[in-house]
Structure 1
Amino acid sequence: MLDNLQFLRAVAASLVVMQHSFSRGESYGFPAMGLRSLDGFGLGGVDIFFVISGFIMTYSQSRAPKTPREFILGRFVRIVPLYWSWMALIVSLIVLVPGVFRTLQIDLEHILYSTLFLSQPLLSEPPFIDLGWTLEYEMLFYMVFALTLLLGNGRVQLLVLGTAMLGFALVFGQWIVLEFLLGVTAFLLLAQMQARGLGVGLMLAGIAGFAVMHGLFADMHRLWTWGVPAFLVVLGVSAMRGRHARVLSYLGDASYSIYLVQVASIPLFYKVASVLPAPQSGAAAWGDVVSVGDLLILGSIAFSIVAGVLLHEVVEKPVTLVARRSLLQPQTALPRE
């Protein structure tokens, strides 16, 4: 089951990279042609991440219960060291090479609130690294989850967790946080029902849901257009027979780095592409089916995956190891999410 979700994490990270490559390619004059029908589908990668997070947190707590302190320290070690390290690297790059990014500028207040995962609630704007908006929702969910653990493990804890997240959504209008509850629900359903034979069907229903909702109901809130299909995909994939593939499992482990690195890898890729000798940006590579923009999207995805793997090996693993040794008990294992 966890191997399957690792595969799905790798897919979700690639979907987000694909989506940002569409928009970056357009801004550099490399529009997609053959892949244009996929423009927009990459948005669902974030929702898949949120549903997986709700699923794994509940699964991990059911298998190896943790105290609130142990839980939040584990989440800190998993999320914060890489995020802060990557932010520091980006800030250093901007200081050393001014203008290297078209939109990122040094703003100490913005950076401070971003490091505290409070940019959106206090500044009403995305974090310094805009991809970090998802991490601010993740940290909110982790804090609420940790607090509800004071009630122990069981139905009361889950009931209070659901009530708290629903209350937050109602008061602040942030319905996207309910996607974490969809992940919790997926785990509870999998634990209670004989879903093993339904896995493929549920996954295909989720994929079809992405297509239908994106095509016909794009104006609805993403909780419905992306969250519900993501719920079906996660439930289906987790219900399928586990299959271990070393490469995909590894990419799942590196998916956090792949997700973060794209803030630099995609602009770098297109900056280089824009100065290299090439056909006219809008020209077709093969007939009227595949454009240069299509090839560059695929190249951007591949480049970002390689860059993410490097970030995973060179930064994420070492800083996470240091944080784990400093904050966690030696025997404490981090869940694979």
Structure 2
Amino acid sequence: MTLQRVFDPKLNTLNALRLLLAISVIVWHSFPLTGAPHTAHPVTQLLGEGGVDGFFAISGFLIVSSWMRRPKWWPYLQARFLRIVPAFWVCLIVTAAVIAPIGVLLSGAGFPADFVGEAMRYVGGNAGLRVVQFGIAGTPAGVPYPDVWNGSLWTLWWEFLCYLAVLGLGLTRLLRFRATIPVIFLLCLAVVVATGAGAVDNFYLVNAARFGLMFFAGALVHQLQHRLPARWWLVGVAAVIIVAAAFLPDYRVLAAIPLAYLLIVAGALLKVRRLRLQNDISYGTYIYAFPLQQVLASAGLYALGVPLFAVLATVFTLAIATASWYAIEKPALRLKGASVFRMRRHAPAVVERNPA
């Protein structure tokens, strides 16, 4: 049985897996945000980087699939914008106007004189997805990880660049060639290997290669889905490879495709209906977790230690993420058929089960 035959775009568990990945990011961030000692290198790779890498791999699969189903630049760009940007903007505003002030009050340090101006710059300066300001007037202060309100948002810039890369490849018709995705994957892999060898040390090139490698690993799984067997024992083999690769300087060298395969095939094979989440709160979980964790740290709760801190942060974050989905993200996705966003009349769009 191939992946193409078992994967149902409307009935799969990729949303549940993305939520699990977002929660893994909460657990990982609980180490630096509580001042806990660094973990062993394999744990750092799997827990510290695997969650975000998994997001990119699933996105690569879904985004390429989205373009292939409907290779129209405006609906594609509109869908990507509405999925990412409105909730991102609201998160910036909520962080600056609500979360950060609460954190400052809980810390008992008092508001810096330039807090309001810096809060406005935090929103305006970061509104273009590329995060250039992480703290607000030196806050949060008195916490193990100071002057950073949201250490997760910076990856969204790279995510959107991957979306634009697919758009560019689609418009130039390069996606029609079978060699395009494998060649891009191999180029990214070469840079990742060169980075590990110390030959490459450029922030932009290193991150472009890292995120591009994972995104196009998912895209490669999509391209080969008509040939890839979907079997649980192969998912197990992929998991073993990933764990073994974690002992390498960069686990992605061997684990990029196995990680993409594991997540996408598991999402296709899992038949538990309760895990087929129609409401995708993984994005809200990802963007709100860090600032909420910093509020808990500002209240001194970092002293609870990693396990309790992570559990408490997860509970609060899931509540806010659910509100973000129903109040911001889901309504934004319904705008895909609105006249202000369309260039010519067409039928109203519906909310995707796996909006990426």
Question: Normalized against structure 1, the TM-score is what?
Answer: 0.74
Which residue in 2 is equivalent to 1:92? Answer: 97
Which residue in 2 is equivalent to 1:249? Answer: 277
**Alpha-carbon distance in structure 2 between the residues aligned to 1:94 and 1:296:** 17
**Alpha-carbon distance in structure 1 between the residues aligned to 2:314 and 2:101:** 27
Q: Deviations over 1:169-215 (max 9, x none)?
A: 8593431112111011111222223x13x2x223223333343233x
**Alpha-carbon distance in structure 1 between the residues aligned to 2:131 and 2:162:** 16
Pairing partner for 1:139 from 152, 160, 170: 160
**Alpha-carbon distance in structure 2 between the residues aligned to 1:190 and 1:323:** 28
What aligned pairs does 1:313-332 form with structure 2 within 5 A after superposition?
313-322=326-335, 325=338, 326-328=340-342, 329-332=346-349
Q: Does 1:175 align with 2:209?
A: yes
Runs of 4+ in 1 over 6 A off after TM superposition: 107-110
CA positional deviation for 1:308: 1.5
CA positional deviation for 1:142: 1.1
Question: What SS does structure 2 have at the residue aligned with 1:172?
Answer: helix
- Structure 2: any 5+ residue segments left out of the alignment? 1-6, 133-147, 192-203
CA positional deviation for 1:17: 1.2
The alignment covers a number of residue pairs equal to 303
Are the structure 2 counterparts of residues 186 and 98 from structure 1 closer, same or farther at C-alpha, using a change threshold of 3 Å?
A: closer
Q: Percent identity?
A: 18
Decide which moves more: 264-273 or 304-313.
Answer: 264-273
Pairing partner for 1:212 from 240, 244, 248: 244
Decide which moves more: 79-88 or 297-306.
Answer: 297-306
- 1:298 maps to a residue whose letter is V
Q: Does 1:304 align with 2:288?
A: no
Native 8 Å contact 1:13 1:255 kept in 2:
yes
**Alpha-carbon distance in structure 2 between the residues aligned to 1:273 and 1:95:** 15
What aligned pairs does 1:264-283 form with structure 2 within 5 A after superposition?
264-272=291-299, 274=301, 281=303
Are the structure 2 counterparts of residues 119 and 324 from structure 1 closer, same or farther at C-alpha, using a change threshold of 3 Å?
A: farther
**Alpha-carbon distance in structure 2 between the residues aligned to 1:152 and 1:334:** 27
RMSD over aligned Cα atoms: 3.9
Question: Normalized against structure 2, the TM-score is what?
Answer: 0.70
Which residue in 1 is equivalent to 2:226? Answer: 191
**Alpha-carbon distance in structure 2 between the residues aligned to 1:189 and 1:160:** 11
Pairing partner for 2:266 from 237, 256, 265: 237
Native 8 Å contact 1:149 1:157 kept in 2:
no
Native 8 Å contact 2:27 2:310 kept in 1:
yes
CA positional deviation for 1:259: 0.6
- Structure 1: any 5+ residue segments left out of the alignment? 121-126, 276-280, 283-291
Q: Does 1:21 align with 2:49?
A: no
**Alpha-carbon distance in structure 2 between the residues aligned to 1:75 and 1:113:** 21
